[in-house]
Amino acid sequence: MSSTVDWESYPREAEAAVAAAGSLDAIEDVRVQYLGRRSALALALREVRDRETGMLLNGIRQKVEALVADREQALADAELDRRLREEVVDVTLPGDELAVGHLHPITQVRRMVENAFLGLGYEVRDDREVETVEYNFDKLAFDEWHPARSPRASFFFDDRHVLRTETSPSQIHAMEERPPPLYMVSIGRVYRRDAITATRYPIFHQFEGLAVDRGLTLADLKGTLLHVMRQLYGPERRVRFRTHYFPFTEPSIEPDVSCGICGGAGCRTCKFTGWIEMGGAGMVDPRVFENVGLDPEAWGGFAFGCGLERTAQLRHDIPDIRALWEGDLRVLRQF
């Protein structure tokens, strides 16, 4: 086989090919062709039987290897020069500005609520969104017939598990965790099977407060809500209570806050009543104390629950609740 190769012209051909190689890829091809395992040279070296041929072929190999290495080095240097020249980074140029976002209005309100209650010494907590029927309804003294227990009103997983319909189960968790005195606010998502409209959304947020101590009265509840409403809406606000019914409070009330648009004179926002409904509240029902093993004779308590969407809507005059869930930046950037 080696006899068919002209070993005198082999290095010259290789030299020409090396000279013609204009890139690192091309020089690699040349190396494979003239020095690689299947090259004529490598095959011939494998067949060598005498010292003379061996010296000849190894001489050729060393020469071609040196040619390839030199060219490779030259090409690599040229490439480095080119990159140093072309890929200059001007470190004095101003950088790309990072877009800075801001908090969603619901998060803003959530933090305001947290701050208002932290200022009163309340503990802020966050509970599970998948609740048991026991905590969402039974221990809160919901009667068997209560409409919220219907799968048409609430999202059930099975007979015993439901997406919480309110933050009130936090009351039970808090009272079961440790003995009173207890002052807590729980904030988070709740779920109801409502159709999406301008005023309702099947997911929304509530904050739920609970105070358990000795000798608490409706006056304490009213003072607490007045403080919080003034923190959220401004120092001029007034609070009033209307009687109502909730399973887990007795008496139960609905707190109203005076309308900030008209100052109480009556306008479209308050439907010309001067007052805006804020949620539900009341004195903890003795049955609830019994359900968590507390003596209703020894302890008193008040509780309240309000929607965060409603608070955000009132603060920013947002007429449609869907705007808070659609994530449209043209809307959200305004707040």
CA distances from 281 to 3, 167, 245 (A): 105, 12, 9
Q: Determine the Cα–Cα distance for residues 318 and 190; give it in Å rounded to an integer.
A: 20
Residue whose CB is nearest to ligand DAH in the complex, by number: 280
Q: Would you say 130 and 224 are in contact if contact means Cβ atoms under 8 Å apart? A: no
State the minimum distance, in angstroms, from the CB of residue 331 to ligand DAH: 26
From the list 304, 309, 311, 323, which residue makes contact with ligand DAH (rule: CB under 6 A)? 304
- How is residue 152 written in tokens? 């048409």
- Closer residue to ligand DAH, CB minimum distance, 260 or 279: 279
Element (H, E) at 16: helix 9-20
- Among 127, 131, 166, 256, interactor with ligand DAH by CB under 6 A: 166
Under rule CB under 6 A, which residues in 124-163 are in contact with ligand DAH?
none
- To the nearest 10°, the Cα dihedral for 257, 262, 267, 270? -10
How many residues sit in the footprint of ligand DAH (CB under 6 A)? 12
Which of 105, 279 has the CB closer to ligand DAH?
279
Identify residues 238-257 at the interface with ligand DAH (CB under 6 A): 246, 249
1, with CB counted inside 10 A (0-12, 13-18, 19+), is exposed
- Give CA–CA dist 41/58, Å, rounded: 9
In the complex, least distance from residue 266 CB atom to ligand DAH, rounded to whole angstroms: 26
**92 or 243, CB closer to ligand DAH?**
243
CB of 310 to ligand DAH, least distance (A): 11
List the structure tokens of 180. Answer: 């009173």
Binding of ligand DAH at residue 303 (CB under 6 A)? yes
Report the alpha-carbon distance of residue 115 to residue 257 in Å, rounded: 19
C-alpha span between 68 and 295 (Å, rounded) = 94
User: Which residues within the stretch 269-288 sit at the binding site for ligand DAH (CB under 6 A)?
Assistant: 279-282
Tokens of residue 41, six digits: 């040279």
Output the smallest distance, CB 290 to ligand DAH, in A: 17
Nearer to ligand DAH, 60 or 141 (CB): 141
Write out the residues near ligand DAH by the rule CB under 6 A: 166, 168, 208, 246, 249, 279-282, 303-305
